Chains A and B, each alone.
Chain A
Amino acid sequence: MEGGVSYARMPRVKIRDLKDDYAKFELRDTDASIANALRRVMIAEVPTIAIDLVEIETNSSVLNDEFIAHRLGLIPLTSQRAMSMRFSRDCDACDGDGQCEYCSVEFHLLVKCMTDQTLDVTSKDLISSDHTVTPVDFVDSSLAEPSDTSTNRGIIIVKLRRGQELKLRAIARKGIGKDHAKWSPAATVTFMYEPEIHINEDLMESLTLEEKKEWVESSPTHVFDIDPVTQQVSVVEPEAYTYDDEVLKKAEAMGKPGLVEINAKQDSFIFTVESTGAIKASQLVLNAIEILKTKLDAVRLSEDTVEADDQFGELGAHLRGG
């Protein structure tokens, strides 16, 4: 640390809601660049595992081989292992053919329809060589009773009629969303500035009840409400405000500019993170921080660059007559 000075901030976090595939939290005391960097990393740079190579042995289904290969790639796989796995391109233990435990996982699929009823081939028919890497199971954990098998059948890959068969071998590899969206662990990641809404009470009281109602109604989202008893307008849900300016325009049109003042707090953000199920939403945030740290570490100046400049610096000082 040069001279012990630091301009680092100490951001605060408050988690509002946390489920396996969903997180909502407040991020304070930092700026939009950090919030946006986190969002970008979560979407495009946190690694997951996805099927990347498919060898089809038999395919007599109605979908062509590449169509099925593409559909297989899009199936989310549980990727807790991804952070510690190697990318196939930097794996020195193998040539990326799927036999290597450090960089790949092998899947097999063998389904044949023998009945007159259409047979659904789903992600549940994929047989993994690694029990920690399997197609994501969409069981709603909020339900007390485990859902019956008819509602939980996995992701449909293709449908087969009598006599049709699908047999293949697939290799899943570690990758990032920047390479192909199938590796993105994020369904949606958004952040908004926290709004600060102040009602000018004096000006508000100059309105009739009808006018108040009209003004409250002008907001497309339910941000304001009128107290049935006191007939006072209050802010009920500031975060429902979408920065649409409708209430400001309405106040202007009613001849009451300054009726309400709305500010976006520049150092306070509300994040919503939804995961595909490949990794938990909370893990997604933590992995994103970790990846961002590694990225920063990679852009540190190398020793030889610093040395080259020191020499140049002395030379420069010499030339300047130092």
Chain B
Amino acid sequence: MNAPDRYERFVVPEGTKKVSYERDTKIINAASFTIEREDHTIGNILRMQLHRDPNVLFAGYKLPHPLQYKIIVRIHTTSQSSPMQAYNQSINDLDRELDHLKNAFEAEMAKFSRDY
């Protein structure tokens, strides 16, 4: 009867930003990114990729509530970098990794169908 529509879990409502950015008011080079309609799939890969960046002092994500379809990624970096730079870099690196993975899988498929 009053159940919310199922698509509300993954469709960003009109007039809402997918990603919003908020600087920390007390700590320099720290910020939170609120990502709408995403979950552990994106949150966890971003966090792990950020941990590979030596300029990142802290990176974590949380899903504040299972019925609020958003995640919050918090990044704290050294003065050599900035949260925004680290965030962009991690997305670029993940994109590159997935590109490589796709090619690797396709190459293996071609090899597999040839060999067997």
Contacts and interface: CB of A to CB of B under 8 A. Distances in A.
Interface of A: 1-2, 5-15, 18, 25, 30-31, 33-34, 36-37, 40-41, 45, 89, 176, 178-180, 282, 285-286, 289-290, 292-293, 295-302, 305-306, 309, 312
A132 to B, nearest CB: 22
Contacts of B7: 89, 179
Counting chain B CB atoms within 10 Å of each CB, which of A13, A179, A285, A300 scores highest?
Answer: A13
Nearest to B18: A298
B48 A31 contact: yes
B79 interface: no
Contacts of A180: 6
Interface string B7-36: 101110000011111010000000001010
Given A179-B6, A286-B105, A309-B84, A1 B18 contact: no
Given A10-B97, A292-B98, A296-B95, A302 B18 contact: yes
A14 B97 contact: no
Contact of B97 (A11, A176, A306): A11
B104 interface: yes
Contacts, number: 133
A311 to B, nearest CB: 12
Contacts of B99: 293
Contacts of A40: 40-41
Contact of A178 (B10, B23, B42): B10
B62 interface: no
Interface string B92-107: 1111111111101110
Given A89-B7, A298-B18, A301-B33, 12 more contacts: A1-B92, A8-B92, A8-B93, A13-B105, A33-B49, A36-B44, A40-B41, A41-B41, A289-B98, A292-B98, A299-B38, A309-B23
A176 B100 contact: no
Closest 9 CB pairs of A and B: A8-B93, A33-B48, A8-B96, A7-B52, A13-B104, A33-B44, A15-B112, A15-B108, A33-B45
The contact size tier of chain B is: 35 or more
A179 B94 contact: no
Nearest to B47: A33
Contacts of A2: 85, 88-89
A30 B59 CA distance: 19
Contacts of B6: 179-180
Given A2-B85, A33-B47, A36-B44, A301 B95 contact: no
Given A37-B41, A176-B10, A293-B95, A312 B88 contact: no
A37 B21 contact: no
Given A8-B100, A289-B98, A309 B105 contact: no
Contacts of B35: 299
A30 B97 contact: yes
A39 to B, nearest CB: 9
Contacts of B84: 301, 306, 309
Nearest to B87: A301
A37 B100 contact: no
B91 interface: yes
8 contacts: A13-B101, A15-B109, A25-B105, A34-B48, A36-B44, A89-B11, A295-B38, A296-B98
Contact of B101 (A5, A11, A41): A11
A6 B42 contact: no
A79 B97 CA distance: 27
A301 B82 CA distance: 14
B18 A295 contact: no
